[in-house]
Structure 1
Amino acid sequence: MNNINAVLFDLDGTLIDSEFFYFSNWAPILAEDYGLDISFDEWIERFAGHTLHHNVQMLNNEYGLKVDEEDMWFATRARYAKADMRTIRLMPHAKEILTQLSDEGKTLALVTSSYQSTVQAVLGEHKLLHFFKFFVTRESVENPKPNPEPYLLAVDKLGIPKDEIVVVEDTSTGCTAAKEAGLYCIAVTKQVVEQKRLTHADQVLNDLAEVKNSLISLN
């Protein structure tokens, strides 16, 4: 790689500790409305990192349910609003890595399958929005991760060579999108089930402190 000039971050599970929040809001809907009980491990293995559309299709095709996507969208948004997404915590070392990279003059951007409203609510609450040059959200693309479109759009917005860009992701879905876009991808997760699916990542690390150190060594 050339010197790193830009870092593209995923949001959920990478910068914010959101997967248990999503699980705790989806699980009651699935149990009460569809009679399906899922564990957090099952959520991580099958649902985390995917869009609502993908998860609804998976529930219908693999679990034999009859879930309407629009109904699930309204049901989950109602629960998110009541639970208050602003209470979602940052992942350990998130603010530190953003601050250091920004101080070093790196361009930072966010590439997420979440909606702009989620980005504004959570990162706004933690006062992190100013670190990012732009946001590629679910509304920005026709084909979300694992399709490479979100990362190809980000590369176009950056206007720099791909070998000056690093992606930080936490799921196989996101890493697939980054690699198919031709980008170097660091995966960061302590979830063993996810680590086993990240053989296509250039690195698999445990937390953002390790990512920060790795980015220093790549320069």
Structure 2
Amino acid sequence: MKTTTRNAAWGPRPTRCCGTGSTTPIYRSATASISIRSTPLKALYSQETKSRSCAKNTLLVLNEEELVIRAILWDNDGVLVDTEGLYFQAGREVLVTQGVELTQEDFVEQSLQKGQSVFDLLPNQDAELIDRLRLQRNARYSALLRERVRVLDGVVETLRTLHGRALMGVVTGSRKDHFDIIHAQTNLLPFFEFVVAREDYKQAKPHPDAYLTAMRLHGLEPETCVVVEDSERGCAAAAKAGLRVLVVPNELSQHGDFSPAYKVLGSVREVVDEVDQLR
């Protein structure tokens, strides 16, 4: 897959301003100046109850002109880990019990492009039935995740390179229980300062609520962030929130409409160069 040209609608690239010459941003908390460090975090989820205390200790760039990109916001499924196929499998197995064959094309359109439920394809839209089937799908998905989760190629080296150069967080449509199962086996969480999971916001992607919530809770502005997504719905969500979006499509999501993206990349490894050029 070739890298496309960046979206001209974003205008000229920002230039790096002169200053200390350091490539490691220094941040100020309410009590001291610190550099972001590689510290394993036990609890990363963004909670409303934590937001007030976080606001008092919001990391602020010492000199805004020395850092254009302050935060990198990562999608989870399909960007960091290869889980979308497992979600498709779980949904297909449950829908077939109702006489509905969920094809890969149906899944891509409903879930990865429109951001809608595959249960909308059921001829019987009885709410109690759908709730029961959703529980079955979620349980099956959990079981599949426990069997195997693969970190996508290039992710570890990319996160290692970027860690400490900007705040990094995960903004995902995954439920917390699924997210925990996934990352119990990936060793990726120490790279991130926070996680915004599905329970942390009201409206799912492609609505911008997930990204708006992440920025609100962590004192971020759209012009100082960049997003890494893989799907049409994720790209749309970030763009609607006013964010630059770097899209790294995968086999399932590659035929989506990524016209709102700042740039479509051929590999997650290219994120490093893009962030460097935006700094």
| TM-score using structure 1 length | 0.86
User: In the aligned structure 1, how far is the partner of 2:229 from the partner of 2:100?
Assistant: 29
How far the C-alpha of 1:49 sits from its partner, in A, is 6.5
User: In the aligned structure 2, how far is the partner of 1:162 from the partner of 1:132?
Assistant: 19
2:130 to 69, 85, 89: 69
Q: Are residues 69 and 133 of structure 1, via their aligned partners in 2, closer, same or farther at CA, if it must alter by over 3 Å?
A: farther
1:88 to 146, 149, 155: 149
Aligned pairs for 1:1-219 (under 5 A) are: 1=14, 3-31=68-96, 33-48=97-112, 54-56=116-118, 58-60=120-122, 64-66=123-125, 68-85=129-146, 87-104=148-165, 106-191=166-251, 194-219=254-279
Q: Are residues 173 and 135 of structure 1, via their aligned partners in 2, closer, same or farther at CA, if it must alter by over 3 Å?
A: same
How far the C-alpha of 1:44 sits from its partner, in A, is 2.3
Residue aligned with 2:140, SS: helix
Residue type at the aligned position of 1:92: D
Q: Are residues 160 and 24 of structure 1, via their aligned partners in 2, closer, same or farther at CA, if it must alter by over 3 Å?
A: closer
Q: Are residues 96 and 146 of structure 1, via their aligned partners in 2, closer, same or farther at CA, if it must alter by over 3 Å?
A: same
User: In the aligned structure 2, how far is the partner of 1:195 from the partner of 1:187?
Assistant: 12
How far the C-alpha of 1:212 sits from its partner, in A, is 2.5
Deviations 1:28-54 (A, max 9, x none): 2112x1212233243223323676xx3
| TM-score using structure 2 length | 0.69
User: In the aligned structure 1, how far is the partner of 2:230 from the partner of 2:112?
Assistant: 10
Residue type at the aligned position of 1:7: I
Structure showing the higher helix proportion among its residues? 1
User: In the aligned structure 2, how far is the partner of 1:122 from the partner of 1:49?
Assistant: 23
Aligned to 2:3: none
How far the C-alpha of 1:216 sits from its partner, in A, is 2.2
Question: Size of the alignment, in residue pairs?
Answer: 212
CA contact (8 A) 2:248 2:264 kept: yes
How far the C-alpha of 1:194 sits from its partner, in A, is 3.8
Higher mean C-alpha deviation, range 173-182 or range 156-165: 156-165
CA contact (8 A) 2:107 2:118 kept: no
Residue aligned with 1:208, SS: coil
Over the aligned positions, Cα root-mean-square deviation in angstroms equals 2.2
How far the C-alpha of 1:4 sits from its partner, in A, is 1.1
Deviations 1:165-199 (A, max 9, x none): 00111111111111111111111104486444111
CA contact (8 A) 2:94 2:136 kept: yes
Q: Are residues 203 and 128 of structure 1, via their aligned partners in 2, closer, same or farther at CA, if it must alter by over 3 Å?
A: same
Aligned to 2:7: none
User: In the aligned structure 2, how far is the partner of 1:81 from the partner of 1:37?
Assistant: 21
> Kindly, what percent of the aligned residue pairs are identical?
28
CA contact (8 A) 2:142 2:178 kept: no
Higher mean C-alpha deviation, range 197-206 or range 73-82: 73-82
Larger radius of gyration: 2
Q: Are residues 48 and 28 of structure 1, via their aligned partners in 2, closer, same or farther at CA, if it must alter by over 3 Å?
A: same
User: In the aligned structure 2, how far is the partner of 1:28 from the partner of 1:211?
Assistant: 35
